[in-house]
Amino acid sequence: MGNTWFQFQQFRVEQDRCAMKISTDSVLLGTLVQGESASRILDIGTGTGVIALILAQRFPKAQIQAVELDEEAGNQASENFAKSPFSTRLNLVKGRFQEFPEKEQFDLLVSNPPYFPNHLKASDPRRNQALHTDELSFWELLEKAGKLLSEEGSLWMILPPAQMKEFEGLSGKQSLFPKKLISVKDSADSKVIRQVVQFQRKMELQVEEELILKESDGSFSASYSRLISGFLLGF
C-alpha cells in the first residue's frame, strides 16, 4: 500500500506526506470497533485519518475527533477529512494526546498506537515517532484515556500479542478491563499476528474471537471479506 493515495468506496485517503501509510491494521481496527450508540468518538494518533474516516462511514450520527502529533500528517488528515462525504462530522486536533483538552468525554476511543519501546530505530525521525513509544507510552495513553472515556464507553486498541499483553498488564491500574479480544491470524495454521481488544470500566467475562484473513489459496476469507465489504474496492 505504498501509493500516494488509497481509494476506498466512499472516500479517498491521500498519504504521501504521512510517515506511516495505510495498513491492514488500520482497516481492521476501523471495521472491528463496536459501539452502536456511540455519538462521540476520538481517534488517537490518526495518521492519514483512515480509521476516523472508516468510523465516520460506519457511525453516521457520530461526531468524530482525531488527534495527531506530526504536523504534516495532521495537515494531510485534515485535508482528507475535508474532501470526504463526512467532513461536517470530522475534526482534527494537532498536538500531543497527553495535552488533549478534557472538556468532554467520549463513547469510543480508538488507537493503532506506536508500540516499539526499544526497537532499532530508522533514520527517518517522523517514522520513528509513528512507530516508537517515546512520544506516547502505553501508560500515558491509558492515563489520558481514563480521563476522556465516558462511564459506559470503550477503548479499542490493535497491537501485536506481546505488546497487547503488556498493555493489558497496565490497563487494570487505570481501572480499564478487557471485555472482548479478537485474535487475528493471516491463515488458519499461522500464529496470531495482531489482537484487537475492547477495554471498558466494568470488569466482565471476557469474550474471545478469532479472525482469519486468508484461505489456504491466498484469497481473502469469507469473514474478512464481510468485514471490509462496503469499504475496500471490489467488496
Structure confidence by residue, pLDDT tens digits, 54-77: 999 999 999 999 999 999 999 999
Q: What is the domain range of residue 57?
A: 5-175
Helix, strand, coil distribution of the chain in percent, nearest 5 = 30, 30, 40
In eight-state DSSP terms, residue 34 is -
pLDDT given at position 115:
73
Number of structural domains found in the chain: 1
52 within a domain of the structure (yes/no)? yes
Provide the sign of the torsion angle of the four alpha carbons 64, 65, 70, 72, taken in this order. Answer: positive
212 within a domain of the structure (yes/no)? no
pLDDT given at position 133:
46
11-60, pLDDT tens digit by residue? 999 999 998 889 999 999 999 999 988 999 999 999 999 999 999 999 99
Provide the sign of the torsion angle of the four alpha carbons 195, 198, 204, 209, taken in this order. Answer: negative
Q: What's the CATH number where 142 sits?
A: 3.40.50.150
d(CA 193, CA 201): 26
150 within a domain of the structure (yes/no)? yes
**Grid cell listed for 217:** 489459496
CA distances to 72, 93, 165, 179 from 212, in Å: 34, 35, 20, 20
139-164, pLDDT tens digit by residue? 999 999 999 999 999 999 999 999 99
Residue 117, helix vs strand vs coil: coil
Average pLDDT taken over every residue of the chain: 91
Residue 183 has pLDDT above 70, yes or no: yes
Max CA pair span of the chain: 50
**Grid cell listed for 106:** 467520549
90-120, pLDDT tens digit by residue? 999 999 999 999 999 999 999 999 875 655 5
d(CA 57, CA 33): 12
Whether pTM exceeds 0.85: yes
Residue 127 has pLDDT above 60, yes or no: no
82 within a domain of the structure (yes/no)? yes
**Grid cell listed for 10:** 466512499
For residue 177, with 0-12 CB atoms within 10 Å meaning exposed, 13-18 middle and 19 or more buried, which class applies?
Answer: middle
